Structure formats: structure tokens, C-alpha cells
């Protein structure tokens, strides 16, 4: 059975269907040679009815949406109101737990940077949320002239030698420091070894520049989607 899995974030739509996979600007949907028999969706966008209608029009099937629950596949949600935890964060920690079954952190770096902790007994212990690279740069761009980084330049941690390079390096340094501090905090509060997963659109960019050892898993949300909507 052909199943299209969709992770629709604030900026990008990541998708996977069999051996095919890709990313598009949100809320665009992929164009497939053969239509799927099922479409499973994890979306942080509010327009669920519109997304469902477009999936129905494009593929002729009803969208199956994942939702955050009080518990799933051995993980217990740490939020008092589980529905207030973003479904992408929830699915990522569930997928990571299935790989380890011990204490872990999931760091997602995309539009926002999120760090979520799961204790050794499978309890989601909460997390941190901060702006991602683009939000950090956008904040400066709105309030300061001529500072938007050149997207063709890879961010680095060394000081910049022009304004755009300095912004790119500074925002990247802030994100790296956030991730390193979140990981350090997790190690401090845990009495057992901890696995750290890195996911999201900027994961591959960030992974080699971190001080901690991480597992780069770009499709954690899609993997969790298959667990939540089997």
C-alpha cells in the first residue's frame, strides 16, 4: 500500500512516500506519479480543514491527522494539557524513544529551535523553545538596516568580516549555544547515559559544529507519524 506521510511545519512541508522523499514550502503538497492510498499528516498549521480539502482534491483520499496524546508507544506526555504540545515535537520524541528506550533528548532546529527531554522511564519531562536561525536573523532585519545574511554563505562560528557575515555567525553562535546548553542541562539532571537526537531543517548544518555527540535523524517526525497513525 502506498502511503504518503507529511510533516507540515511553519516553513516547510517534508514528505515521504515509499522510496520518494522531499521538502517544499509549506503548505504545498508533493506531486506524485502515482496517487497514494493513504495520506498521514502531522501539521502545526491551524488550517486543518483547508489541508484536508486539498489532499482530498489532489489525491482523492481523506487525510489522517496525528494528534498529541497523553501517552503513546511507551512515552507519557509531560504537559498538563497534552494537546498544547506541538504534534511534531511529540512524534519526534516517540520515534526517538522507539530507537533507544532510555533517557534521551530530541533537539529540533527549524523555524523554531526546540529541545525535549524524555526520562529513562519514558516520561516526557518538558523542554525548551527558542527562535531558529531564520527567526533570529529576521528580528535583526526588521530593526536594523542591511543585516540580512547572504543565504549562499554557510554559517560559521568565527567572527564575520562584514555585516551580513557577522549576523550569520552571531545567530549561528546563539543557536549552537542554545543547543549545547540544553544538552548540558539534560546531562546534569540525568543519572543515566543520555542519547541526543538532532532533527529539523538545519540539523545537518548544526551537527558537526556542536560540542556534544548527537545522532542526526532528519525524519524523526515522519517516523513518529507511522507510529501514531499505523
User: Which bin fits 175, alpha (ψ -120 to 50), beta or left (φ > 0)?
Assistant: alpha
Q: Is 88 a catalytic residue?
A: yes
Scan for cell 537526537, then name that residue. Answer: 197
How is residue 83 written as a grid cell?
494537546
5, 7, 88, 202: which one is catalytic? 88
Nearest C-alpha neighbor of 159 from the set 151, 150, 167: 167
| Whether the Cβ atoms of residue 39 and residue 13 lie closer than 8 Å to each other | no
Catalytic residues: 88
Amino acid at each position: 500500500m502506498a502511503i504518503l506521510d507529511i510533516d507540515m511545519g511553519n516553513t516547510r512541508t517534508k514528505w515521504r512516500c515509499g522510496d520518494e522523499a522531499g521538502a517544499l514550502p509549506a503548505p504545498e503538497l508533493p506531486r506524485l506519479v502515482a496517487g497514494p492510498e493513504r495520506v498521514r499528516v502531522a501539521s502545526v498549521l491551524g488550517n486543518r480543514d483547508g489541508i484536508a480539502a486539498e489532499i482530498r482534491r489532489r489525491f482523492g483520499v481523506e487525510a489522517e491527522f496525528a494528534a498529541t496524546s497523553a501517552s503513546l508507544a511507551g512515552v507519557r506526555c509531560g504537559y498538563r494539557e497534552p494537546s498544547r504540545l506541538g504534534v511534531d515535537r511529540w512524534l519526534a520524541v516517540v520515534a526517538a524513544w522507539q530507537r533507544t528506550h532510555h533517557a534521551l533528548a530530541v533537539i529540533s532546529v527549524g523555524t523554531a529551535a526546540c529541545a525535549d527531554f524524555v526520562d529513562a522511564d519514558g516520561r516526557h519531562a518538558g523542554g525548551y523553545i527558542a527562535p531558529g536561525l531564520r527567526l533570529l536573523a529576521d528580528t535583526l532585519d526588521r530593526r536594523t538596516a542591511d543585516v540580512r545574511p547572504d543565504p549562499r554563505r554557510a554559517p560559521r562560528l568565527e567572527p564575520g568580516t562584514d555585516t551580513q557575515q557577522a549576523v550569520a555567525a552571531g545567530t549561528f553562535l546563539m543557536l549552537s549555544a542554545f543547543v549545547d546548553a540544553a544538552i548540558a542541562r539534560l546531562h546534569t539532571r540525568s543519572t543515566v547515559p543520555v542519547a541526543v537526537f538532532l532533527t529539523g531543517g538545519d540539523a545537518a548544518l548544526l551537527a558537526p559544529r556542536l560540542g556534544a555527540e548527537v545522532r542526526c535523524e532528519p525524519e524523526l517526525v515522519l517516523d513518529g507519524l507511522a507510529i501514531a497513525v499505523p
